[in-house]
Amino acid sequence: MSDALAAAIDTDAVVIGAGPVGLYQVFQLGLLEARAHVIDSLPRAGGQPAQLYPDKPIYDLPGIAACTGQQLTDALLAQIAPFEPVFHFGQEAQTLRRLPDGRWQVATRAVHALGGVTLRARALFIAAGTGAFAPRRLKLSGIQAWEGRQLFYRPPDAADLPAGRALIVGGGEAALACAIALAESGRHTVTLTHRRDAFQADSTAIARWHALRTEGRAQFIAGQPTDFEAEGERLVALHIADHQGAQQRVALDALIVLQGLAPQLGPIADWNLALERKQLAVDTERFATSAPGIFAVGDINTYPGKKKLLVCGFHEAALAAWGALPTLFPGRAEPPLQYTSSSAHLQTLLGLR
């Protein structure tokens, strides 16, 4: 047995994506007594609603007049708690392999650390939305060699970052918070660069940033990175071009890039599943992909009439769970349809009795 197989975790179902549809998939699987492990490249659950519009109200969920993206996430997590799903956060699904016994093996790669997990299941549910959210990286060829050493895509702890010149790239909340924390630490010479001298952050942070600049504890450069300089093993400078194209060389010891997150379909595109315009083609009876035992639900899938709405994704998750039953439990008779409002069995599963 290879190391990968020895360390593999066996489960009934693997769900890729802890967005709203992946979470609801866990619920529907739980009602059918299937245990699920859930993988997400982000450090927490919620997908787009939690990541992109946590404080915005959603008005088109059935029977709920309004709820924010974060409230929806919290409610879905509470709803699936009785089924005790196992989450693997900060893990991007990388490779897919069919095992000789017909099960699927998914291996992950840790996004910000070393290591990954290997999961084996009869059924795989891909609820990967528009893809794995990953930091928007600098598009400077070769600079990735310094990632994790002098180039960071997450805000470092000011106390952990060796004293020196820190150059921060970005114009949002995270970039500003990082620039403020490093400037206030007194151990770093801070430069923040962004396309323009305007920030998407709350007014308190913006006021604090301007105060630090006025006090001479931080500086700002408007422009975009165009090149970098290295000396031997060290990254020593970034070149920044302003709107007129004039170049400025900024010496640095640490480069922290906080330009937000962008979804990338990534490795799933290479899994030999039928795709239509970068989405997984499915049927509308079981939301099955072109591979047996692999289902796709939510924003990642496509079929005639597809609408990328939460309510559609939830419907798909319910039918995918039922459609996967023969794969999940071969030979077991399909249970009758039961209602959570009246079934003692389902209420027991939900921990209500």
Ligand X SMILES: Cc1cc2nc3c(=O)[nH]c(=O)nc-3n(C[C@H](O)[C@H](O)[C@H](O)COP(=O)(O)OP(=O)(O)OC[C@H]3O[C@@H](n4cnc5c(N)ncnc54)[C@H](O)[C@@H]3O)c2cc1C
Contact positions toward ligand X, by CB under 6 A? 16-22, 39-42, 47-49, 52-53, 58, 60, 92-93, 127-133, 266-268, 298-299, 308-311, 313
* Shorter beta-carbon distance to ligand X: residue 88 or 194: 88
- Which residue's structure tokens are 């519009």? 53
Q: How far is CA 350 from CA 7, 19, 98, 242, in A?
A: 31, 21, 33, 59
Other CB atoms within 10 A of residue 100 CB: 5
Tell me the closest approach of the beta carbon of residue 91 to ligand X, in angstroms.
Answer: 6
- Which residue is at the shortest CB distance from ligand X? 129
Handedness of CA 242, 247, 248, 252 (dihedral sign): positive
Question: Which residues neighbour 25 within 8 Å (Cβ) at sequence distance 6 or greater?
Answer: 15, 36, 125, 127, 297, 317, 320, 321
* Shorter beta-carbon distance to ligand X: residue 211 or 311: 311
- Which residue's structure tokens are 């795709």? 275
Asked if residue 296 lies in contact with residue 313, where contact means CB atoms within 8 angstroms, the answer is: no
* Shorter beta-carbon distance to ligand X: residue 12 or 316: 316
Tell me the closest approach of the beta carbon of residue 282 to ligand X, in angstroms.
Answer: 12
* Shorter beta-carbon distance to ligand X: residue 124 or 310: 310
Q: How far is CA 210 from CA 164, 193, 215, in A?
A: 21, 14, 9
Tell me the closest approach of the beta carbon of residue 229 to ligand X, in angstroms.
Answer: 34
Residue environment code for 127-153, b if the CB has 16+ CB neighbours within 10 A, otherwise e? bbbbbbbbbeebeeeebeebeeebbbb
Tell me the closest approach of the beta carbon of residue 142 to ligand X, in angstroms.
Answer: 25
CA distance 135 to 47: 14
* Shorter beta-carbon distance to ligand X: residue 41 or 191: 41
Tell me the closest approach of the beta carbon of residue 38 to ligand X, in angstroms.
Answer: 9
CA distance 332 to 330: 6
User: 182: number of CA atoms within 13 Å, CB side?
Assistant: 28
Tell me the closest approach of the beta carbon of residue 18 to ligand X, in angstroms.
Answer: 6
* Shorter beta-carbon distance to ligand X: residue 24 or 228: 24
Amino acid of residue 210: H
Tell me the closest approach of the beta carbon of residue 295 to ligand X, in angstroms.
Answer: 12
* Shorter beta-carbon distance to ligand X: residue 19 or 155: 19
* Shorter beta-carbon distance to ligand X: residue 117 or 127: 127
Tell me the closest approach of the beta carbon of residue 140 to ligand X, in angstroms.
Answer: 25
